[in-house]
A and B are shown apart, each in its own frame.
Chain A
Amino acid sequence: MRHLTGAVLDSDSNAVTRELLRLGVLDFVSLQEMSPDWRNELDPVYPGEEQRQVAKLRERIETFFAILDAHPATLVDFFPEDEGYAGSVDEAERRLDKVASAIQRVREEQKAISQELNRTKELQRHLDGGGDSLVKQPHRFLSVRYGLPSSGREEEFRAALGKFPCVYLDSGLLMTLKRDETGIAPLLERFGWREIPAPVREEHAPGLADAEIEKKTRELEAKNDELEKKAREIVEGKKDELLSLWKGLRIRELSETVRGFFGKTARTFIFAGWVPASHEKELDGALRRVTDNRCHLEWLDPFSHKDGQLPKQIPVIMNNPKWLRPFEKLVTNYAIPAYGTVDPTIFVAVFYCVMFGLMFGDVGHGLVVFLIGLLGRLKAKKAGKQEHFLFPLFRWCGGSAMVAGALFGSWFGMELFPPLWFDYHGIISGHSVEGGVQSISDILLITIYFGIVVIGFGLLLNFYNRIVKHDWVSLLFDKGGLLGGWLYAAGTWCAFYFVRHDYRQLPDNSFLALFIGLPALLMIVKPVIEWRHAHRGERFGLMTVAYLLMEWLVELLEVFSGYLSNTLSFMRVAGLGIAHVSLVIAFFQIADMAAGSGGYTIWSYIILLLGNVLIIGLEGLSAGIQSLRLNYYEFFSKYFDGTGRAYAPVSLKH
């Protein structure tokens, strides 16, 4: 990253704004935050009311596109030569109002249909309730009559009936609700209603009314579908115009955002921000070109800072290849690593997959997880969407479980092929097993070795981070520094020595004094240096000595108990692996119990199927979570400085 502070003339500010937006590589820094002295020197250029109005108009267009289940950003490309919307906000608002009212008119038509449907449904309800008994024993809520309005007034009559729930057939059947009698009676009088004799087969009336209601309902629903389509067509019809307006408004809005970071003097504008080193020349050249070199640009390499300390809040770009993105997501879900420190994504990828495989080692189960990941990918591809980051993670984890399954000889819990490493199932079920790994203790030991490797690697990364940050005190005297590493290595050696000697003998005293006592004693240096730094010129008093001793003791306790528990924590990898195998064995035993004398029955197969589904769901989830937990709390805690912030330039793409 490079830090840029630029000063340009007032007359060039528009061109500079456009260029900054076009390149979209500057992650702006608030000038006031950068240097509090500037607070008095510079006037801010706050985004005005107009910018808020522009944002509102842009959002309005987005709501129109929501009718099409689309977002303008996915339908339009930005080009460097595009200009922001130059018209007035009022004019844009008028254009959008026209579209909004056209849609609103459609909604009103839909509302009328909805209300009519409601009326029709009510009649249907009463008709259903009355059923076939309508004629012999008329439904108490319905009124049925036969007649015709004055000749030539049929259409008008039908329209006047509209506000009442009713059925009126050409044959003269008029079915209304009794509660509307007081409204219907004057209507009949007004239209010269003449009663006509009921047809001979009057009992057909309910069926006719029912058929009419169904027909009407279908027509209304079809009409409503048409209207929904019409609302979409309105937006479709205006699509190009709206997209162009949206693009213009968005560019204008972003330009205002850029200007919001400017500080103003009488005739100049000042701005500052971070740019990836690879874009330094490009941005420098572009700004000089558009200002005819009438600008002052000051570039700073953060590592060349005068006191050797990195400035705060340098944005971070995590440049991992695409195949590592799901693991990068796991890292950023925890925090963004501080600028200059190690991006642990690749290590997380390796450790996560190894842990998952050790906990969930089975070729068949791994294959299912892998296929779920593949299915997610195909589904997303079919829908034209980007797949969720969990699906590639599924594929990685599934692959890792398959490799581990081959090493342990486990294929859906069966030993179809001999294990390449050791027989996990044989060990758990107590069969005699050959090779270097023969018991559960051996499995636990493997995971402890694995834990030591992970923690040791974490410490190495911490050494690197401390060197990069020039944090020499922590590098030397911190519990995660060289002294801490020394203690961890010596402690681990002592622990293995103790175990090798049947838990009866520790290494000799000179070893303990040199490798445990000395670094433990030296750890007091850190609190002393920190105290001196915070209390320059002060002398040590009795209380200070007591305080420093207390801090040293607490630190030592943390080192011994912390490292021990962190290492033993990796035994959960074996624990989960053992649970996985045990569950498989248990389901096979249940299937055996359900088997008849002639071998497996259908129940045995159902038990195995459901058992495997349960194992994949339950154990897969456990293994995934525990791997994450070990990465976050045992690995990250050794070196990870998550105080970084993600690089977020103002650009057309963001």
Chain B
Amino acid sequence: MTAPVRQYGFINAKLRTRLNKLFDEATLEKLRQAPSLAEAIQLLKDTPYRQEVSVYESTGDLKEVEAALWRREIATVAELRRYLQGTLLSLLDGLLLRYEVDIVRNSVRLWFDAHLKRRSIGGEAGYLYQEALVNPFSIDEVVNAEDFDALLEAFKLTPYGQLLEENRQDIESRAHLFRFETDLDRFFYRQLIESVDKLEAADKRIALRLIAVEVDLRNVDRIARLAFFYPPEKRSQWHIIIPGGSFSGQLLDSAVSVRKGEDAVATLLNGHYPGLDSFTSSSSEDSLGMVEGLLRQIRREETMKLLRGYPFTVGIILAYVFLKRKEIGTVVSLLNAHYYGVSPDRMGDGL
């Protein structure tokens, strides 16, 4: 038995079984078409999320359901640690960082609301995942920090203090977290790529390709969204680009600096995927939806390509983590959409 087979044989079999259980389009469509939140919850009771969604009936609180779903996802990824060793363990830590970064983002947002916006955040911190993942910090320390220095103190044992310090002026004087949040994303992908660098050559190639697709998705999504709502001079002040994708820096810069939203999208897609101009030739709002649809398709195809290929690689772990995250994200969005009475058609656009 070769080393990759030994290393990935078991975990691949396990994850492939789980991948087969991911929701197909028909299930998501059924969920989307559910006449109400109660019915959507009922549909999910026949899926592996039964326990998590049952929380709704005992609390009526969708945020509790959301928290339970994310807790489950983190537990699922953390569980993979048991089956991995060596460089793959550090890759898993890199992947767990995604959740930690989200928790940091959400806890700093709460602090920001309570201390700079002077809003009551009630018991919102209770919905956040409280246990340590990769770096040690306490959510209570963060949301209750009396001032910025106390906030930095709360993150003193983590790399996030440095990120906050770098964005201090933006947060305190300009009262916005946008740059800090972008920096968090950049930090996550940088760390993930660093952990990928330690892998064997074949694994590294596959992992970088998948990560590049993820980064591209985020970059195009960000540029497209911001380009539709903000003028180029404002956009260029923000660090909106995440490094590590397959788009060239020059192309990304030029997309950020064009005037109209649809031109930014056209610049990006035509510069990287020639022949996709039909996606950007329609009206601006449609083209944003189409871009998102296209990106989803690219992600799906990359993942499928990987699943059809040689099975004993790190790709299956990454594909599983990315797809599972996407699935839970979609379920959460659909449940919220039902709660707010969004029509199934509009939900379809947002899926």
**Which A residues are within 8 Å of any B CB, using their own CB?**
56, 59-60, 62-64, 66-67, 100, 103-104, 106-111, 113-122, 125-126, 129, 140-141, 163-165, 177-180, 182-183, 224, 227-228, 231
B123 near A115: Cβ-Cβ < 8 Å: yes
A178 touches B123 (CB 8 A): no
B112-155: CB near A (< 8 Å → 1, else 0) gives 00110010111111110000000000001001101000000000
Query: Could you name 21 residue pairs across A and B whose Cβ atoms are closer than 8 Å?
Result: A60-B35, A60-B39, A64-B38, A107-B60, A110-B60, A114-B59, A114-B61, A118-B126, A120-B123, A122-B125, A126-B144, A163-B120, A163-B122, A164-B120, A165-B122, A178-B146, A179-B115, A180-B120, A182-B118, A183-B118, A224-B59
Interface pair A141/B140, CB less than 8 Å apart: yes
Interchain CB contact under 8 A, A121 and B59:
no
Q: Is the CB of B60 within 8 A of A63?
A: no
Please, what's the 1-or-0 string for B26-39, where 1 marks a CB less than 8 Å from any CB in chain A? 00000000011111
B42-85 to A contact mask, C-beta < 8 Å, 1/0: 10010000000000111111101000000000000000000000
Question: Other than the known A107-B60, A111-B62, A164-B122, what 11 A-B pairs have Cβ atoms closer than 8 Å?
Answer: A62-B42, A110-B59, A110-B61, A113-B59, A115-B61, A115-B123, A118-B127, A119-B123, A122-B126, A179-B115, A180-B120
- Residue in contact with B35 in the complex, picked from A56, A117, A177, A228, CB distance below 8 Å: A56
User: How long is the Cα–Cα vector from A300 to B31 in the complex, in angstroms?
Assistant: 45
Q: Is the CB of A179 within 8 A of B143?
A: yes
**Chain A residues within an 8 Å CB radius of B37:** 104
Which A residue's beta carbon lies closest to that of B40? A63
A66 to B45, CA, bound (A): 10
Q: Give the distance in Å from the alpha carbon of A129 to the alpha carbon of B140 in the complex.
A: 11
CB pair B64 A114 closer than 8 Å: yes
Output the least CB separation between B104 and chain A (Å).
18
Contacts of B126 in A (CB 8 A): 118-119, 121-122
Question: Contact residues of B with A, CB < 8 Å?
Answer: 35-39, 42, 45, 56-62, 64, 114-115, 118, 120-127, 140, 143-144, 146
Interface centre among A63, A104, A110, A165 (most CB of B within 10 A): A63
Pairwise interchain contact A121-B35, C-beta atoms closer than 8 A: no
CB–CB B114/A179 < 8 A: yes
List residues of chain A with CB within 8 A of the CB of B143.
Answer: 179
Q: Which residues of A contact B35 (CB under 8 A)?
A: 56, 60
Chain A residues with CB below 8 A from B45, complex form:
66
Main secondary structure of the interface of A (DSSP, over half): helix
| Of A100, A103, A107, A116, most B-chain CB atoms within 10 Å | A107
B42 touches A63 (CB 8 A): yes
Q: Which residue of A lies closest to B36 (CB)?
A: A100
Which of A67, A104, A118 is B122 in contact with, Cβ under 8 Å? A118
**Do residues A59 and B60 form an inter-chain contact, with CB atoms below 8 A?**
no
Interface contact A63-B39, CB-CB below 8 Å:
yes
Which single member of B57, B115, B118, B140 contacts A125 (CB below 8 Å)?
B140
Structural contact, B57 and A180, CB atoms closer than 8 A: no
A66-B45, A106-B60, A107-B56 known; A141 and B127 CB under 8 Å? no
A179 to B39, CA, bound (A): 39
Chain A residue nearest to B141 (CB atoms) is: A141
> Which interface residue of A113, A115, A116, A129 has the most chain B CB atoms within 10 A?
A115
| Complex CA–CA separation, A283 to B200 (angstroms) | 72
A120→B58 CA distance, assembly (Å): 18
Closest 10 CB pairs of A and B: A110-B60, A118-B123, A107-B60, A119-B123, A114-B61, A118-B126, A114-B59, A63-B42, A111-B60, A141-B144
B143 CB to closest chain A CB (Å) equals 7
Q: How far is the CB of A369 from chain B (nearest CB, A)?
A: 29
Inter-chain CA distance A103–B120, complex, in Å, is 29
Beyond A115-B123, A121-B126, A183-B118, is A109–B60 a contact (Cβ under 8 Å)?
yes
Q: How far is the CB of A233 from chain B (nearest CB, A)?
A: 14
Q: Are the CB atoms of A100 and B122 closer together than 8 Å?
A: no
Query: How far in angstroms is the closest Cβ of chain A from B117?
Result: 10
- Cβ-defined contact, A66 with B42, below 8 A: yes
> In the assembly, what is the distance between CA of A116 and CA of B59, in Å?
11
A119 adjacent to B144 (CB under 8 Å)? no
**Chain A residue nearest in CB terms to B119:** A183
CB-CB under 8 A from A115, the residues of chain B are 61, 122-123
Q: Which residue of A lies closest to B127 (CB)?
A: A118
Q: Shortest distance in angstroms between A568's beta carbon and chain B's nearest beta carbon?
A: 30
Chain A neighbourhood of B120, CB < 8 A: 163-164, 180, 183
Q: Which chain A positions have C-beta within 8 A of B146?
A: 140, 178-179
Q: How far is the CA of A60 from the CA of B121 in the complex (A)?
A: 36
**Which chain B residues lie closer than 8 Å to A107 at the CB level?**
56, 60
Least CB distance, A65 to chain B, in whole angstroms:
10
CB-CB under 8 A for A100 and B61, given A107-B56, A122-B126, A163-B122: no
User: Does the CB pair B122–A119 fall under 8 Å?
Assistant: yes
Residue contact B38 to A63, C-beta cutoff 8 Å? yes
- Residues on B with C-beta less than 8 A from A141 are 140, 144
Bound complex: CA of A224 vs CA of B58, how far in Å? 8
> A125–B125 Cα gap in the complex (Å)?
11
Evaluate contact between B144 and A121: CB separation under 8 angstroms.
no
Q: How far is the CB of A354 from chain B (nearest CB, A)?
A: 35
The answer for the CA separation of A67 and B41 in the assembled complex, in Å, is 11
Tell me the complex Cα distance, A178–B150, Å.
13
Contact between B123 and A121, CB atoms less than 8 A apart? yes
Nearest-Cβ distance from residue B46 to partner chain A, whole angstroms: 10
Distance between Cα atoms of A100 and B61 in the complex (Å) = 16
